[in-house]
Structure 1
Amino acid sequence: MSLSVGRRLSIRSMIYVAGESIPFFWPMRNFIHHNPLHGLEDLPFEQAVQEGRRLFHGRVFLRRPDYQRYIEQGKVDSDDLSAQVAAFVAERETIPGIDLQQCLMALLTQTENKVVFKRSIASVADIQALVNGLPLPAEKEFTPGNLVQYLRHELLGDRPVYDAIDALYGTGIASELDELVIKSCLDFFDEGQSVWSMPGRKRGFFRAWREVANRNIRLYLRGMHIKDILAVDDTPEGVIAHVMNTLGIPEDRWVHYFTRELAQLHGWTGFIRWRWNAKNYHWSKTYPADLTDLVAVRLTFALALLSKRGRKNIATSTFTLEQAIENKTMETYLRYELFGKRIVPAMAKSVEQALARGKDSQIEKVFHKYIEFKRQHEAGVQANRLLTLAARVDQVEALRS
């Protein structure tokens, strides 16, 4: 495989754009903190913080009890808060019998947890029935088609393939991948503190790492055939293109996919971005490295780990993930519930046993039972939260009407 100069530059441009969201404040000589949204300053604030939450897995707001404590301490003006809530309510459609202003103020100032419960199966009709003390309606809004759409949304898209595999099989690839990449970065970016540093560093990060990886017998003994991947091309861009095509990632999603990969270890990504831009930095001039090198190393490790797991007959690409979602929908859903840590605890043992046995008839039986159980659970939790809030403001009867 040999890429043209134009193709290589195109891949480098994609990675450059993908890395723009990752801040590169380094080194921090004068301040003890930095702005994690620096790379998102071109976006509106609300959009930037949500993108930051998605990329860096951070919390956008303080916990609600913190705000409630500020109200008690007078750090938040209650009258101003009430005025803002009133303005919000004025723009919303009224609900007969419900004082929305009173409900929201109670939610903000008296309730520790949010009232909305994330649900995937229960419908509004299910919740309303339990609010009124009635059994769940016989008619279900949930359909197999909805389930396929839900799984595609959760497991495909910009989500790294290995992350989706971990959520279906509990393989732990993501943590193992991070450890391998961190060790490679420590070996290459050492600035004289370590007893041993990676040989051949003057050739650049990817080329130096490639020489070491090709001779690393420990990786081979761990079942990682990295040498086969690196034999495809001797450039980082060529390896990146090979891995992305093997994983089945459409090219129009490469930039977003690269961003997710770079954000996994955003500290190292930010450091490498800073290092590459600091042209007069001694270590950067002596041992060059950029984000393309980092992405190539990370994707090579990722494909090797996925190929290793693939020998155990599990999905390892978007192609096989799509096949699992379409052809083994019930099994895929139960796997996502169990290994994605969404399982209703009371049925965890039954689901785990059915998946371990691997019999389609048993999986189907447990699936239908689980769906009804989860429907009841989701509707019950949401109904109880609504009733608790309504009781605080003496609006239970209005909620039930």
Structure 2
Amino acid sequence: MNVTSTLPKRTKENLTPDSPDLDINDLVKSASRAIAPLWPIATFAARNPWMGLERQSFEQVARWLKDTRDVEIYPSFSMIHAAQNRGEIDEAFLKMALQRWLDSQSLDLPREVAERFCRAALKRDDLPSNLLATPGLKCLVEKLSDLEPLDTEKHSLKPLSLCLEKQGGERVAHTLDHHLIKWCKLFLDESQAAWSLPNREEGFYRAWHRLVLYDPALSHEQRQRLKDWPQEANTALKEALFALEIPHSEIQDYLEAHLISLPGWAGMMLWRSQQSTQENSLLTEYLAVRISLEWALLKPYLPLPKQKNEDKVPLVPLIAAWAHWGDLPIQAWSQLSSTEQKARLILAYRFDEMTTRRLWLEAWEQTHADQLSEMIRSKPPVSGEVKPALAQFVFCIDVRSEPFRRQLEKAGPFETYGMAGFFGLPIETSELGSEHTHSSLPVILKPQHRVKESSSAFELKQYEQRRQAAHSLNYTFKTMKQNLLTSLLLPEVSGPWQSLQMLARSFVPRSAGRAFRQLREAWLRKPSTELSLDHMHTSETELPVGFSEEEKVHYVRQALRMMGLTNHFAPLVVICGHGSYSTNNPYASALDCGACGGASGGFNARVLAALANLPKVREALATEGISIPEDTVFVAAEHVTTLDELHWLYVPRLSEPAQEVFDRIQAALPKVSHDANEERLSQLPNFESCPKNPKAEAHRFAEDWSEVRPEWGLANNAEFIIGRRELTKECNLGGRAFLHNYDWQEDQDGTLLANIIAGPATVAQWINLQYYASTVAPHYYGSGNKATQTVTAGLGVMQGNASDLLAGLPWQSVMQSDQEVYHAPLRLLVVIEAPREYVERLVDHDPAFRQKVQNGWIRLANIDPEGYWESWS
């Protein structure tokens, strides 16, 4: 499947490696849209695995993946039937979806005949084996084979190594993957291997080219074939494509097919190529290595025999389908005209298993949208006089914030708001005593400022010494583990301590975790810090430290407008970042912000609160109509999602009204945490009902190093709601909704809505499709069982020692059990509360968003000021 415009058709006879119009780098760049960049697991960021394919419809991509890699991306029928049994699919919507599909078809059949067949085929029960073996079926197939060809689509291009395997030959594709995995691990290793790959600094292809002639995993003949192979990756890739006789017009398709053979390792190469100009050709080098090796392995089998009847539709299952679902016995076919026979075959061919899965999914999604609409419309009206809020909390739109916000609103006259959890601050952070910086914003954006923690020179020096001592101890231990000689002595030296730690963490994980953490904190004794908010001059190559006076005002103004808080300020405004905590968990960063590469939002919350408290910032905002009362104080906190606790990060001197509110919040938080934990833990598969002490159990989950599921993360996310909090207040959304505040009356030109769609909604879609893909195709887009994963090269995880670099979530993050799904694989529903013309303007002016809606990558609904719900497609 080519995602760019079709190249001019060329024949393999007039294609040569030095063809002047063969720009291999452009073809690789276009082909790279078949995969998505993969970040290292330490900075895990949710990614839409099909982000480059949205020019095609969801169904087209599904068929391409099925044809090319035998990967299904529609929910399985076991998932569908389980959802139906839970009441999540209304069959009325299934019937409507079927009617729409029939309306889109041109069939030479009476409508009632086609409809009756399709309704029966929707069940998709297996065709009986005795039916497929019915006498006379083979004879009928021979007679019908003379009919005009059915309207079939051309099969997708597959790597020749895979074609050979499918023809019953040697397992060349499997061997090729094994070689690529080995070389990728060696090249990408982040100091975990005892010996690093020689010549890495020269690039992937050259390092491979120098060593492949000595690779004992290749036969002598295979090594000899590569002896005089080109030294440059571009030339080698062209040479390999020419030797394999790939036509010019099919090169991009062929490269795409190879990229999706190992989408994890290829995705890591793509990400690395985007990070540095020195490695910008890394994906080309990867393909040069892969296809060169493919040629070396395939040479004795070339040219491959063409598979017979590759594009011919097998008629046996189509005829059997009519016998089983259409009540048309095999003997009755002779009574039909050739036109009627062909019409029935075409219907059975088009209404295949993938089409039925698609209709079931659409019905599932429509049922969910209808239930959400009904919940919002039927919520009880607000009774009595609304008291002014004593405190206003601003949370990240993360779905895990929704239950906590709901419990907090029940605890008192508190208002909650939602916006993207980096709070509009494009910063990278530098913690006290660290030379390392961390981008603290969604990975789709680039930082523009650096903010550092600072302390007094004396305290900083003392802290750095303690921190360096702890770092040196960890580094020495790690180095000894990786060294061949010292690793033999390490068990003798560290055995008693490691044994004590193992026993403590195994039998008393909560107490042990708390003790180890307190010991570390007591040793480090981090002093109180200040933030470098004022602009400091830096070199041209570095990010500016701090903000200018104009930038301070700009970022606070922007944040207040995006969260919808520009008037009626409460005495206390709490900016709440969020983060997670778990032990012995390769996916720990995945439980922090799903968009920000493992960064929690606490640092950003602290920066925004500090900026909003500056007198000069408030004076400038007042001239623009945003008047923050003198008694109002901004503070910062962090919502720890594994514990459902609020930890204070920045509490400046409070005014008297703010102090009273702060004390009231402190008194209310224990019950809020208790109730939020009770609701959250009851959804985990370990419990039929919530334990008596939810707080203690939540802490145990976070500290237990054997716990594969410390929390659900963002599983079961389903909708992104853009509107006032009043729209969903009092609604139990079950932790499934991204909630972004928005008031259309404050957005006359639609700029705020456009920014929400371009930023937070796009990130939410990435998260949604990451969970979707990990659920429907766990062994291709997920990462399998967490208990059997191997952390490799310091980059990510594999199953065993020779698998793809697994790009998605483990099944424990999406599955209730081996048979039962927890995450409902629904495409994200974006709900916008605004007049219809606002949505029309958005769709007209944002072609990327319009494309996502039209091609089925997201769903869109609109709630107008009168409360009318309208679905878009």
Fold match, TM over 0.5? Answer: yes
Following TM superposition, by how much is the alpha carbon of 1:193 offset from its aligned partner in structure 2, in angstroms? Answer: 0.5
Following TM superposition, by how much is the alpha carbon of 1:97 offset from its aligned partner in structure 2, in angstroms? Answer: 9.7
Which residue of structure 2 aligns with residue 267 of structure 1?
A: 264
2:94 to 55, 76, 81: 81
Equivalent AA in structure 2 for residue 136 of structure 1? C
Greater RCO, CA 8 A, separation 6+: 1
Structure 1 distance, partners of 2:21, 2:69, is 28
Structure 2 distance, partners of 1:289, 1:97, is 55
- SS for the counterpart of 2:226 is helix
Structure 2 distance, partners of 1:390, 1:100, is 9
Structure 2 distance, partners of 1:188, 1:263, is 20
Structure 1 distance, partners of 2:71, 2:49, is 10
Contact 1:226 1:300 in 2 (8 A): no
What root-mean-square deviation, in Å, do the aligned CA atoms of Structure 1 and Structure 2 show? 4.1
Which residue of structure 2 aligns with residue 359 of structure 1?
A: none
Which residue of structure 2 aligns with residue 361 of structure 1?
A: none
1:107 to 121, 124, 134: 121
Which residue of structure 2 aligns with residue 136 of structure 1?
A: 139
1:45-64 → structure 2 map (5 Å cutoff): 45-54=58-67, 57-64=70-77
Equivalent AA in structure 2 for residue 199 of structure 1? P
Equivalent AA in structure 1 for residue 254 of structure 2? Y
Higher share in helix: 1
Distance change in 2, residues 1:94/1:235 (3 Å): closer
1:35 partnered with 2:32: no
**Cα deviation 1:261-303 (Å, max 9, x = unaligned):** 1111110110011111122xxxx96x88601111111122111
- SS for the counterpart of 1:225 is helix
Distance change in 2, residues 1:87/1:211 (3 Å): closer
Which residue of structure 1 aligns with residue 241 of structure 2?
A: 244
Which residue of structure 2 aligns with residue 170 of structure 1?
A: 169
1:18 partnered with 2:18: no
Structure 2 distance, partners of 1:298, 1:91, is 42
Which residue of structure 2 aligns with residue 299 of structure 1?
A: 291
Structure 2 distance, partners of 1:48, 1:251, is 23
Structure 1 distance, partners of 2:46, 2:102, is 37
Contact 1:232 1:238 in 2 (8 A): no
Distance change in 2, residues 1:159/1:139 (3 Å): closer
Distance change in 2, residues 1:276/1:389 (3 Å): same
- SS for the counterpart of 1:271 is helix
1:182-197 → structure 2 map (5 Å cutoff): 182-197=181-196
Equivalent AA in structure 1 for residue 37 of structure 2? F
Which residue of structure 2 aligns with residue 69 of structure 1?
A: 82
Structure 1 distance, partners of 2:104, 2:241, is 46
Equivalent AA in structure 2 for residue 247 of structure 1? L
Equivalent AA in structure 1 for residue 176 of structure 2? L
Once structures 1 and 2 are overlaid, which stretch shifts more, 198-207 or 158-167? 158-167
Equivalent AA in structure 2 for residue 386 of structure 1? W
Structure 2 distance, partners of 1:214, 1:186, is 18
Structure 2 distance, partners of 1:232, 1:191, is 29
Contact 1:198 1:209 in 2 (8 A): no
Distance change in 2, residues 1:100/1:241 (3 Å): closer
**Cα deviation 1:20-75 (Å, max 9, x = unaligned):** 22111413557685321112123233323333444554212112243233233321
Structure 1 distance, partners of 2:229, 2:92, is 66
Structure 2 distance, partners of 1:388, 1:139, is 20
1:389 partnered with 2:402: no
Following TM superposition, by how much is the alpha carbon of 1:384 offset from its aligned partner in structure 2, in angstroms? Answer: 4.3
Which residue of structure 1 aligns with residue 556 of structure 2?
A: none
Structure 2 distance, partners of 1:23, 1:42, is 15
- SS for the counterpart of 2:260 is helix
Distance change in 2, residues 1:50/1:254 (3 Å): same
1:185-334 → structure 2 map (5 Å cutoff): 185-216=184-215, 218-219=216-217, 222-279=219-276, 290-307=282-299, 310=300, 315-316=301-302, 320-321=303-304, 324-325=305-306, 333=308
**Cα deviation 1:206-237 (Å, max 9, x = unaligned):** 11111111333x256x2443344351421111
Structure 1 distance, partners of 2:84, 2:200, is 56
**Cα deviation 1:133-159 (Å, max 9, x = unaligned):** xx835964558xx9xxx9xx77xx732
Which residue of structure 1 aligns with residue 486 of structure 2?
A: none
Distance change in 2, residues 1:396/1:98 (3 Å): farther
Contact 1:210 1:230 in 2 (8 A): no
Contact 2:34 2:259 in 1 (8 A): no
Equivalent AA in structure 2 for residue 388 of structure 1? H
Contact 1:224 1:305 in 2 (8 A): no
Following TM superposition, by how much is the alpha carbon of 1:100 offset from its aligned partner in structure 2, in angstroms? Answer: 3.6
Distance change in 2, residues 1:267/1:138 (3 Å): closer
Structure 2 distance, partners of 1:396, 1:9, is 55
Distance change in 2, residues 1:398/1:65 (3 Å): farther
**TM-score, normalisation: structure 2:** 0.31
Segments of 5+ residues of structure 2 without an aligned counterpart are 1-15, 336-873
Contact 2:38 2:264 in 1 (8 A): no
Equivalent AA in structure 1 for residue 121 of structure 2? L
**Cα deviation 1:233-270 (Å, max 9, x = unaligned):** 21111111221111111222111111111111110110
Which residue of structure 2 aligns with residue 158 of structure 1?
A: 157
Distance change in 2, residues 1:66/1:102 (3 Å): farther
Once structures 1 and 2 are overlaid, which stretch shifts more, 44-53 or 238-247? 44-53
Structure 2 distance, partners of 1:61, 1:399, is 34
Which residue of structure 2 aligns with residue 356 of structure 1?
A: none
Structure 1 distance, partners of 2:49, 2:109, is 40
Distance change in 2, residues 1:16/1:7 (3 Å): farther
Following TM superposition, by how much is the alpha carbon of 1:91 offset from its aligned partner in structure 2, in angstroms? Answer: 5.3
Structure 2 distance, partners of 1:399, 1:38, is 48
Structure 2 distance, partners of 1:288, 1:30, is 21
- SS for the counterpart of 1:51 is helix
Distance change in 2, residues 1:72/1:227 (3 Å): same
Higher share in strand: 2
Structure 1 distance, partners of 2:33, 2:77, is 32
Distance change in 2, residues 1:7/1:208 (3 Å): farther
Which residue of structure 2 aligns with residue 354 of structure 1?
A: none
Distance change in 2, residues 1:64/1:208 (3 Å): same
Structure 1 distance, partners of 2:330, 2:167, is 43
Segments of 5+ residues of structure 1 without an aligned counterpart are 326-331, 337-374
Larger Rg computed on CA atoms: 2
